[in-house]
Chains A and B, each alone.
Chain A
Amino acid sequence: MWKTTKKLALRLVPQRRAGGIWPAFRGDRWHVPSSQLGTAGATFTADRLYALPICVPVTAVCQALAVNVTTADPLSSIRLGIYADSGGVPGALLIDAGVVSGATVKEASLALTRWLPAGWYWLACISDDAPVVTGLNTATVSLLGVATNIGTDVNNGVYIDVAYGALPDPFGGPVTYFAATIPTVLLRATAGLEDVSDGWHITQNIGEEVRLQPPQVSGRYYGCPLITAAYNTRTLALVDATMYAMLFYVNESHAYDRIAVHVTTRTVPSNIQLGIYEDSAGVPGNLILDAGNVSGASTGGKEININQTLARGWYWLAAVSDSTPTLRTYQGSSMFGWLGATSGTDTAYYGGMSVAQAYGALPTPFTAGAVLTATGVPRIMLRAT
């Protein structure tokens, strides 16, 4: 936390070593929603207000919003803005930046000046017609969770249908989650606290208030947020008597009412024991919850009712089977390099850890000798309450 002390000083010194979840924003770069990568053309649906989550890692001054019009639509207009986050969805309107033309192929930007304290926000856009702009596609990191325990879509953002015009305040709802290529707004902002010409001063930490993931939304299923969507659809036949563990993140103390896996190919008979482990310096530690078992003898989403509150931090979701059912899986480079490599020449990317363990009640602590696994770990999800 930042300690705030009221003094007469008018100049604030920025933190040298950034602690935000991403490197600080820079005024010479255009920033996009934090989780997203590939680009493609995205056609506006008229009178649809889109919003994409973006993490401002370090308190910054917003300088501009932009879209890149790739196919013009005569007489079309695009309105841009920024919403505050409200429990994992867009909330209060912070900035209605104004309108750019969609009638010409060009990079269209709107200048603005606004502090944004570190945190999660939603970049918003709406058009009165159907121009095409550069969009970010579905291959995103799994920040927003999925709607069902068999969901493989990875949502880029949300939308509501509303008449084109001044941006509504608040955003409104219920929102619809959007998994296709979504029109993308870019933000140009520069970190730092030195410019206080308007007499306003930040009084809270510039890094610690930011979490890796926006708040989790009740009723949605969450796996590891560091997984890329391209690998959200892979499957793996479990090795019997092998216990698998995958990372799970809790951004704020939260209660969960389901633990779930997706059986894609059944094995008769088979069972899968599920549970939750503490993190112990980067590896699974003590058992928090042995949730019991689900059947792997039929396909579909399989889940167990739980009543488990987890404090903010990292956990490991675990599964062990008595046979070889095939489950939806996190695999390979889906994990980036967060789990590290075993040597300087190791080119594998690891999805989790595994260890030999007889099927049955889950042990505590996690069985010793677990190793990184590049062949995949079951995608285990928790449903947020």
Chain B
Amino acid sequence: MVMEKGGWTLEPSGLDATTYPLWVTGRYYGSNLATALSTLTLKQRMYATPIFAPGANGSLIDELGLEITAGGTAGGVARVGIYEDYEGVPWDLLLDAGTIPIDGVGWQHVDVALRLRGWVWLAVAFSNYAATPTYRSVSAYVPVLGFTNPVITTRTGGYIVEADAAIVDVGLFSRFPVNTASVVLPVATSGLYPRTLVRAG
């Protein structure tokens, strides 16, 4: 690494093609950092979890969704989308993919056509259901998001916002509400979070 005195400008170029194994068409990928599988039933929350899309030119995806393991309110939906990464946090909305049903079990997804590149954040928002669905979740394994204090008791796997039901009906925030006062401040999650997946296209 060279450091120079004086004024310099920098121009970024392509990603390192070898950072992580390439995605294979037809396979499903989620947060790279988690292993333990479980389920969650929390509602009125919006989650964002990081995922690395490999390849010098990124990776195509054609599905975005979540497995529902026990259905909730009839006609209920959750909203899924993707945020860009900005220095380690979810930032500008890249895609509001729409809603997936939560009243039936199985892989619930939206068809998409998008090329992802580098770190992005998969988002899912749950409404205030009368009957909350149960959905597939994972927990952080390697603490690549660090810890919120030096006591290091819990690993972080993403960000969570206490979401008003309107976010599911109207649409995802155009910018993820990190450090804004308009919503409950998002805090790094610990423990379980939804296993949102994309399918490589």
* Minimal beta-carbon separation of B23 from chain A (angstroms): 6
Q: Is the CB of A25 within 8 A of B35?
A: no
Task: Please pick, from A19, A68, A200, the residue contacting B151 in the complex, using a CB distance under 8 A.
Answer: A68
Q: What residue of chain A has the Cβ atom nearest to residue B64's Cβ?
A: A344
**A286 to nearest B CB, angstroms?**
16
Q: Which of A5, A15, A18, A34 has the most CB of B within 10 A?
A: A18
Binary interface encoding of chain B residues 123-151 relative to chain A, with 1 for a CB under 8 A from any of its CBs, else 0: 00000000000001000011111111111
Q: Given contacts A117-B1, A281-B22, are A32 and B87 in contact (CB under 8 A)? A: no
Chain A interfacial residues counted at CB < 8 A: 90
Bitwise interface map of A from 319 to 346 toward B, beta carbon under 8 Å scored 1, else 0: 0000000000000010011111111111
Among B1, B2, B37, B89, the one with the most A-chain Cβ atoms within 10 Å of its Cβ is B1
Given contacts A32-B143, A186-B150, A336-B32, contact A312 B18 (CB under 8 A): yes
Binds B, one of A203-211, A257-265, A290-298, A301-309: A203-211
Contact partner, A200, options B3, B27, B146, B199, Cβ 8 Å: B3
Give the A-B pair count, Cβ closer than 8 A.
243
Please give the distance in Å from B147's CB to the nearest CB on chain A. 5
Q: Distance in Å from the Cβ of B200 to the closest Cβ of chain A?
A: 7
* B45 on the A face (CB < 8 A): no
A296 to B159 alpha-carbon distance, docked (Å) = 49
Q: Which residues of A contact B37 (CB under 8 A)?
A: 347
Choose, from A151-159, A191-199, A235-243, the stretch at the interface. Answer: A191-199
**Chain B: minimal CB distance from A309 (Å):** 16
Contact partners of A338 in chain B: CB under 8 A: 20-21, 32
Near B by CB (< 8 A), chain A positions 1-33 give 1-10, 12-26, 28-32
Contact status B34-A186, CB under 8 Å: no
Q: With A and B bound together, what is the CA distance between A209 and B109 in angstroms?
A: 36
User: With the chains together, A14 CA to B85 CA distance in Å?
Assistant: 12
User: Given A4-B10, A186-B147, A345-B106, do A39 and B199 touch, yes or no (CB 8 Å)?
Assistant: no
The answer on a CB contact under 8 Å between B152 and A343 is: no
B180 neighbours in A (Cβ, 8 Å): none
- Is B87 within 8 A of A1, CB to CB? no
Residue of A nearest to B52 (CB): A21
Does A122 make an interface contact (CB < 8 A)?
no
B189 within 8 A of A: no
Q: Which residues of A contact B120 (CB under 8 A)?
A: 17
Size of B's binding interface in residues, CB under 8 A: 74
Q: Is the CB of B119 within 8 A of A203?
A: no
A228 within 8 A of B: yes
Residue of A nearest to B27 (CB): A340
Report B18-50 CB contacts with A as 1/0, cut-off 8 Å.
111111100111111111110000000000001
Bound: A84/B201 CA distance, A:
40
Does any Cβ of B come within 8 Å of A67's Cβ? yes
User: Among B6, B34, B150, B151, which residue has the most Cβ atoms of chain A within 10 A?
Assistant: B150
* Given contacts A4-B10, A34-B142, A347-B136, A18 and B87 within 8 Å (CB-CB): yes
Contact present for B8 and A37 (CB under 8 Å): no
Chain A residues, Cβ within 8 Å of B66: 344
How far is the CB of A345 from the nearest CB of chain B, in Å?
5
Of A16, A28, A333, A340, most B-chain CB atoms within 10 Å: A340
B7 touches A343 (CB 8 A): no
Residues of B within 8 A of A4 (CB): 8-10
Chain A residues with CB below 8 A from B31, complex form? 337
Looking at A36, A184, A193, A345, which has the most chain B CB atoms within 10 Å of its CB?
Answer: A345
15 A-B residue pairings within 8 Å (CB atoms): A2-B12, A3-B13, A4-B8, A4-B10, A5-B9, A17-B85, A37-B141, A107-B149, A191-B87, A193-B10, A201-B7, A337-B35, A339-B24, A340-B27, A344-B65
Instruction: Give the 8 A-B residue pairs with the shortest CB-CB distance, closest first.
Output: A344-B107, A340-B27, A29-B146, A24-B88, A117-B1, A333-B35, A282-B22, A282-B24
